[in-house]
Amino acid sequence: MTPPVLPGRLPLVGHALTLVRRPLELMSGADPDDDIAVLYGGWQPWYLVSSPELAQQIFVEDARKFDRGMIFEAVARIVGKTSLTADGDLHRQRRRLVQPTLDRRRIPEYAPTMASAAHDLVASWRDGERLPLDDLLNDFSFEVVTRTLVTAGIDEARVADFKRYLPPALAGITKSMYDPTGLMRHIPTPDNRRTNHAIRQVRATIADAVAYLRTSGEDHGDMLSTLVRDGHGLSDQEICDEAMALLVAGTETITSALSWAIHLMTESPEVQQRVQVELDEVLSGRPITVGDVPKLDYLRRMFTEILRLYPPGWLVSRRTLTEVRLGDVVVPARRPVFVCLYTLHRRKENFPDPDRFDPDRWLPERAKSLPREAYLPFSTGMHRCPGDHFAWTMASVLLAALCQRWHLTAAGDPITPTAAPTLRPSHLDVIVTSRGADRD
């Protein structure tokens, strides 16, 4: 069978430019009820999968018939072969190394850092202030991920450097994800020069920290210490690569999810109110701890729904290593395949009224008949995101700290979704109103 072709194919370039520049516009041309569609990268067909069964086949049953594909290859050109970007034995080896640092049992060690960063963020606001929350959430994610991951062995001056260079470095890396040629970042534009300089600075900072940990023999309990301690045989360069990969994987994704959570709460005052009521009941005004997270049922449903509507890793790439049959479609070897979590999560048969923000669709009695592979914000199978518990805890802690003290109202122009390259609201200007002195 020949699958439907997405609208908007241009001569020579096919859909490639639109995928880089306006990916959501391209995806909105896909019918989420088509299991598989085709878009063209130049003259070559690329396959876009939106069906739960095919996603399960690609991620789990036939996982060994695919490698990581275009998006991860683009990241590998900058951060090397790592747990995020490698295949085969190297992937298994790196994943074994990284996974314990993100294990559920380690999260309580990181939670105080998350809570103090969340507190510092929301405690400085003034009643009625208008805030660029997109920038502030970015800072929050960088702060938490860098403080839990790499900065224990770095002096204050270097931490300041790190904070300065990390955002442009990561923005540059993530921007290159949809550049199949890998050449764009070498064009000497001022923007590229800034990005490449920032990447070199971040690497140098991590390299200093690795050297310090090696010579001092200290173990700060952070992820970098773990990589140095347990990564027998890894060179300093490889440890730097792993740390960079975790920073890429862990910051932009969380900022994206938090941005949508805040945006949709400003759009749905009743959802915001239910989050606040639950926080008041469970926490009675005290700061959240990691032990409270499982008690916040409504917050969990709300955030589950956010990751359904706007999954940060909305497009997951693979490439066939051999001919693979996907449903009625035979995909030849060496073809790019993308599982589109954005369309997968909007299938009508699994999510009635799929565009509606409805946290209660995750009430146990309503969600019980949902097939497991219908909802895959963290993917599944051997590449399933190892940072899911970290991300959940970080998001819960921030949203709790914020909603306990503040009421949020949208300000500024209407918001449109952008995909740069995780899904983000176009801006997030918000007015914060204090919920009362008793909670300060």
Helix or strand or coil: residue 287? coil
Helix axes 190-216, 223-230, angle to 10 degrees: 60
Residue 421 lies near ligand HEM (rule: CB under 6 A): no
Give the residue nearest to ligand HEM (CB): 387
Place of tokens 């202030």: 129
Residue 255 lies near ligand HEM (rule: CB under 6 A): no
Residue 199 lies near ligand HEM (rule: CB under 6 A): no
| Of positions 114, 391, 400, 430, contacts ligand HEM by CB under 6 A | 391
Q: CB count, 10 Å around CB of 103?
A: 11
Task: Report which secondary-structure segment, H or E, holds 406.
Answer: strand 406-410
Residues 266, 414: Cα–Cα separation, whole Å: 12
Handedness of CA 223, 225, 229, 231 (dihedral sign): positive
Q: What is the CA radius of gyration of the chain?
A: 22
Residue placing its CB nearer to ligand HEM in the complex, 71 or 432: 71
Task: Name every residue whose Cβ is closer than 8 Å to that of residue 287 and which is 6 or more positions away in sequence.
Answer: 115, 119, 401
Residue 83 lies near ligand HEM (rule: CB under 6 A): yes
Q: CB count, 10 Å around CB of 348?
A: 10
Residue 122 lies near ligand HEM (rule: CB under 6 A): no
Helix or strand or coil: residue 153? helix
Residue 248 lies near ligand HEM (rule: CB under 6 A): no
Question: CB of 372 within 8 A of CB of 329?
Answer: no
CB of 387 to ligand HEM, least distance (A): 2
C-alpha 239: how far from chain center? 21
Residue placing its CB nearer to ligand HEM in the complex, 114 or 283: 114
Residue 58 lies near ligand HEM (rule: CB under 6 A): no
Residues 335, 65: Cα–Cα separation, whole Å: 11
CB of 356 to ligand HEM, least distance (A): 21
**Residue 437: both structure tokens together:** 């002195």
Residues 394, 114: Cα–Cα separation, whole Å: 6
Residue placing its CB nearer to ligand HEM in the complex, 249 or 402: 249
Residue placing its CB nearer to ligand HEM in the complex, 154 or 247: 247
| Of positions 52, 313, 417, 421, contacts ligand HEM by CB under 6 A | 313
Residue 316 lies near ligand HEM (rule: CB under 6 A): yes
Residue placing its CB nearer to ligand HEM in the complex, 112 or 412: 112
Task: Name every residue whose Cβ is closer than 8 Å to that of residue 190 and which is 6 or more positions away in sequence.
Answer: none
CB of 2 to ligand HEM, least distance (A): 27
| Of positions 6, 36, 38, 102, contacts ligand HEM by CB under 6 A | 102
| Of positions 201, 253, 272, 404, contacts ligand HEM by CB under 6 A | 253
Place of tokens 């010579």: 215
CB of 83 to ligand HEM, least distance (A): 5
The interface with ligand HEM within residues 355-384 (CB under 6 A) comprises: 377-379, 383
Residue 385 lies near ligand HEM (rule: CB under 6 A): yes
CB of 25 to ligand HEM, least distance (A): 21
CB of 249 to ligand HEM, least distance (A): 3
**Interface residues toward ligand HEM, by CB under 6 A:** 59, 83-84, 95, 98, 102, 246, 249-250, 253-254, 257, 312-313, 316, 377-379, 383, 385-387, 390-391
